[in-house]
Amino acid sequence: MKSDSKLIAANAENLQEAPWHQKAGGGGGGKGTKPAVVTCSLSKLTFFSLFFLISLPYFFYSLRFPNYCNLASLRLPSAVNNYSTAAAAAAEEKTSLCHIVFGIAASARLWDRRKEYIKLWYRPETMRGVVWMDKAPPPAAEDDRRRLPPIRISGDTAGFEYRHAKGDRSAIRISRAVSETLRLGMEDVRWFVMGDDDTVFVAENLAGVLAKYDHRECYYIGSNSESHLQNIMFSYAMAYGGGGFAISYPLAVKLAAMQDRCLGRYPALYGSDDRIQACMAEIGVPLTKEPGFHQLDVYGNAFGLLAAHPVTPLLSLHHIDVIDPIFPKASRLQSLQRLALPMSLDPAALMQQSICYDSRRRWTVSVSWGYAVQIVRGTVSPREMEMPVRTFVNWHKKADYRGYAFNTRAVHPNSCQTPFVYTLPSNNDSVVYSSTTGETTSRYVRSRGENPKCKSWKVEDPSGVDRVEVRKRPEPNFWDKAPRRNCCRVLPSKKRRTMVIDVGECRANEVVELR
């Protein structure tokens, strides 16, 4: 046990004074640290007396600073993490961002472009993370040093065999990022979250989801591919690393103790994700699925998928360079930057769908908060509206509806039911919060597309609506309750060519039905 601690402490010491680009130790074959076992020989009465005296000041302190996070713990460590002590001292403290360490797999070849995606979500003042590179990129500019996680060079993997004919042996390097991040010895860590350099996390939602789980247990949390064929080829029991996955600290310790031996048993596997899952299978820990992690194994226009987001918090988006820009007339980076404002004001609601009807005009309305609004002529059932429209093709670039791991629906054959789409503009006031009303107001403008007049229909034409205004009260604890879509209501509007919608918790006996 002591030799194990010395091994990891030595690795941490080697990295202690690392410059911006420093090579990590190539070890990893040693066993991981194990939480210290603390015994107590005091009598029960003495123990509880001491516990009460020690806990009382902490109790009042925590009332004053309920989300306190030691800023020193956000820096790279100088000593190995004493997990059991930290966990015991803060056993009742809710998991927050300061308890999470992000491990980001990157390559020097793509770094110049991909680093801009990381800047969209990573905040050095409240988060911890490490970028694991294959080799040192060009010297970093001041802005990069200030806004990005520190860079480390992955350990040497030349001694590992790789036999997959169509893959890349960098998969071995990337799969070891969890263990190498653990060996940095950061303090007060509960979760390691792994992702790629083109993964965009919604960090607040991620912290909220992980807070549901006991970090003292062994958890492997993630989601599958959107491609049914990909899941068959690899495994439905595997978390896809591009979408991101989380490993609890105790499980990371177990993984680090055996991973290099485990990797030697699977030289024929393709990637890093299946290697991680193979080791999870040997440890005996199954995948806990959180569908808010999005690998986005699709091509083309992902609008149909994103606008019908499942009733679960949005945790990540991946394959940004593969799908089309998610907003019209914007680059991929500009599209994601547009999400930053609604993400900051009400992350729990981001892309959450609400469905309602304009009964007077017999329209179906779908609000994907912070992203888009759709108006459809006629009455479309909620069962149909919550199903993604196939505006995209699957990972094998086929339009076969059987290629997806979820239900989809075809684009409506009747062009008169083509949705009128309104998207969030790039304005700085596209979403505003009023401290007076306690509400956000988000504004969406029509994306010009082909919507026929359909004069034969006895349904009013939505082309008279140029803008949609959505009012909503932020609900930071929305996901602490049983999952249920918010309800929406079309309100009377005095504004010319503007529809006004209220989105919020469903009222007593409120359901989505046309009356």
Q: What is the pLDDT of residues 166-177, one digit of tens each?
A: 999 999 999 999
Asked if residue 292 lies in contact with residue 255, where contact means CB atoms within 8 angstroms, the answer is: no
Mean pLDDT of the chain: 86
3-class DSSP assignment, residue 277: helix
Sorted by where each begins, the domain ranges of the chain are 2-289, 302-504
Parallel/antiparallel/unpaired status of strands 100-105 and 151-153? unpaired
3-class DSSP assignment, residue 155: coil
pLDDT confidence of 76, banded at 50, 70, 90?
Answer: low
Share of the chain above pLDDT 70, in %: 82
222-280 pLDDT tens trace? 999 999 999 999 999 999 999 999 999 999 999 999 999 999 999 999 999 999 999 99
As a three-state string, the secondary structure of 321-387 is CCECCCCCCCCHHHHHHHHHHHHHHCHHHCCEEEEEEECCCCEEEEEECCCEEEEEECCCCHHHHCC
φ, ψ at 28 (rounded to 5°): 115, -5
pLDDT at 221 over 50: yes
Q: Which of 63-72, 124-133, 166-175, 275-284 has the lowest mean pLDDT?
A: 63-72
412-428 pLDDT tens trace? 888 899 999 999 999 88
pLDDT at 11 over 90: no
Question: What pLDDT score does 38 carry?
Answer: 37
Distance, in Å, from the CA atom of 363 to the CA atom of 379, rounded to the nearest integer, reads 6
Name which residue leads in pLDDT, 117 or 413: 117
pLDDT (average), residues 181-209:
98
Helix (H) or strand (E) holding 129: strand 128-133
CATH topology of domain 2-289: Spore Coat Polysaccharide Biosynthesis Protein SpsA; Chain A (3.90.550)
Output the DSSP codes for 412-455. Answer: PSSGGGPPEEEE--S-TTSEEEETTTTEEEEEEEE--------T
Measured between alpha carbons, how far is residue 309 from residues 316, 420, 504 in Å?
12, 18, 17
Q: Which of 45-59, 148-162, 290-304 has the lowest mean pLDDT?
A: 45-59
3-class DSSP assignment, residue 150: coil
* DSSP label at residue 149: P
pLDDT confidence of 434, banded at 50, 70, 90?
Answer: very high
Distance, in Å, from the CA atom of 448 to the CA atom of 330, rounded to the nearest integer, reads 14
CA torsion, ordered 79, 84, 89, 93, to nearest 10 deg: 100
Question: What pLDDT score does 456 carry?
Answer: 75
Most confident of 39-48, 83-92, 160-169: 160-169
Distance, in Å, from the CA atom of 221 to the CA atom of 213, rounded to the nearest integer, reads 10
Place of tokens 């300061």: 98
List the structure tokens of 418: 């083509």
List the structure tokens of 297: 């194994």
Question: What pLDDT score does 72 carry?
Answer: 52
pLDDT (average), residues 190-202:
98
The upper half-sphere exposure of residue 100, i.e. CA atoms within 13 Å in the direction of its Cβ, equals: 28
Neighbours of 427 (CB within 10 A): 12
Encoded amino acid at 127, one letter: M
pLDDT confidence of 12, banded at 50, 70, 90?
Answer: very low
Question: What pLDDT score does 70 carry?
Answer: 57
Q: Which of 52-66, 299-313, 347-361 has the lowest mean pLDDT?
A: 52-66
Neighbours of 429 (CB within 10 A): 10
pLDDT at 34 over 60: no
Measured between alpha carbons, how far is residue 12 from residues 2, 80, 81, 378 in Å?
15, 6, 10, 63
Question: What pLDDT score does 18 carry?
Answer: 36
Parallel/antiparallel/unpaired status of strands 467-472 and 498-504? parallel
Most confident of 10-14, 85-89, 370-374: 370-374
Place of tokens 């888009």: 372
Parallel/antiparallel/unpaired status of strands 151-153 and 21-23? parallel
Q: Which of 79-93, 206-220, 382-396 has the lowest mean pLDDT?
A: 79-93
Asked if residue 225 lies in contact with residue 405, where contact means CB atoms within 8 angstroms, the answer is: yes
The upper half-sphere exposure of residue 247, i.e. CA atoms within 13 Å in the direction of its Cβ, equals: 31
pLDDT at 379 over 80: yes
Distance, in Å, from the CA atom of 8 to the CA atom of 215, rounded to the nearest integer, reads 21
Residue from 184, 198, 174 nearest 276 by CA: 174
* Per-position b or e across 247-273, b if 16+ CB within 10 A of its CB: bbbbbbbbbbbbbbebbeebeebbbbb
